[in-house]
Amino acid sequence: MSGGYYKDAGGKTAVDSHVTDNRFFTAMLEDAAELSDRRNRPVFTDFLTEAEQVTAVSVMKRLQANYWLWGGFDGAERRMLGVFPPYDEPCAEPFPIDGITASFREVDRVEHRSVLGTLMAQGIERSCVGDILIESGRCVFFCRDSVTRALLSDIDKIGGVGVRLCQGYTEPLPAAHSFKDISATVASARLDCVTAALAGVGRGKAEELIIAGEVMINSVICKKVSQNVNEGDKLTVRGTGKFIIDDLGTVTRKGRLILSARKYV
């Protein structure tokens, strides 16, 4: 169902977030806030991309709505938006999210794309699947609770590797990503300066990339070369990679900033 509300298996009010037009997506978010207030119960989207989350937060703040983003664990990238009645305390418990563990032999290799492909082959929409975390012998992924039973009963292989699925997981979770530390000095926190340093190109080339829409801050294209980059931002340079800005505060004797970042590898 696209662009409408439905009851999931737990009876919670939910809203389908598989919307490609941002205007419809914004309207859907506004409707979710209105529905939560009118029915005095939480309303949840499916899992949102990071770019969709930016839009969702903007809309919720404009509406002064009571909301929370949650993906099943702290630090999740794909998260649901939960809109709560005005006087409720937002929390993780009512979110319709299950964690599922797939166990396999440590000598076998399971990849992210194989897990996602297996889930899609079961007819599961991408928006019903959150983060997928993999380590030797174990994969933990998060999904909408309405699809849990079907997945547990129907999946015994992922990419040709035999697996055993069970609901839940044990801590600590597998690491979501591996990173490479990067350090550089930049003239300022402007986007063109930071992009040049991270991409290993000249400032002029960085400006070209930005103006061409090849650079994103927190999954949103930014074409303003003078836009300041902040600590905690995720910067993506198409063709180069994705980076997390950890620090931009230390100033050298020559007045330049020391940039500390991590590159996804």
**pLDDT, tens digit (0-9, with 9 covering 90-100), for 123-134:** 999 999 999 999
Whole domain around residue 259: which residue ranges?
Answer: 179-264
What is the number of domains present in the chain?
3
User: Looking at the domain assignment, is residue 92 inside a domain?
Assistant: no
Q: Are 205 and 196 in contact (CB under 8 A)?
A: yes
Token pair 């506004």 is found at 30
Look up the pTM and report it.
0.81
183 and 159 assigned to the same domain: no
Domain final position from 167, 191, 225? 167
Residue 220: inside a domain, yes or no?
A: yes
Classify residue 91: in a domain, yes or no.
no
Q: Judge if 49 and 79 occupy the same domain.
A: yes
Of 84, 105, 140, the residue at which a domain comes to its end is 84
- How many Cβ atoms sit within 10 Å of the Cβ of residue 229? 24
Specify whether 123 is located in the same domain as 147: yes
| Long-range CB contacts for residues 109-117, cutoff 8 Å, separation at least 24 | 109/161, 110/134, 110/139, 110/158, 110/159, 110/161, 110/163, 111/159, 114/158, 114/159, 114/161, 115/139, 115/141, 115/158, 115/159, 117/159
Q: What is the CATH number of the domain that holds 162?
A: 3.30.70.330
Residue 249 counted as domain residue:
yes
Pairing state between β 13-15 and 43-48: parallel
Same domain for 205 and 157, yes or no, is: no
Shared domain check, 195 and 147:
no
pLDDT in tens, the chain (265 residues): 334 444 444 456 565 544 446 889 999 999 999 999 999 999 999 999 998 999 999 999 999 999 999 999 999 999 999 999 999 999 999 999 999 999 999 999 999 999 999 999 999 999 999 999 999 999 999 999 999 999 999 999 999 999 999 999 999 999 988 899 999 999 999 999 999 999 999 999 999 999 999 999 998 999 999 999 999 999 999 999 999 999 998 899 889 999 999 999 8
173 found inside a domain: no
Same domain, 183 and 258: yes
Is 211 within the bounds of a domain? yes
Last residue of a domain, one of 167, 200, 227: 167
Domain co-membership, 30 together with 53 = yes
Residue 174 inside a domain? The answer is no
Same domain, yes or no, for 161 and 184?
A: no
**Within a domain: 38:** yes
Q: For residue range 155-186, list pLDDT tens digits in order.
A: 999 999 999 999 999 999 999 888 999 999 99
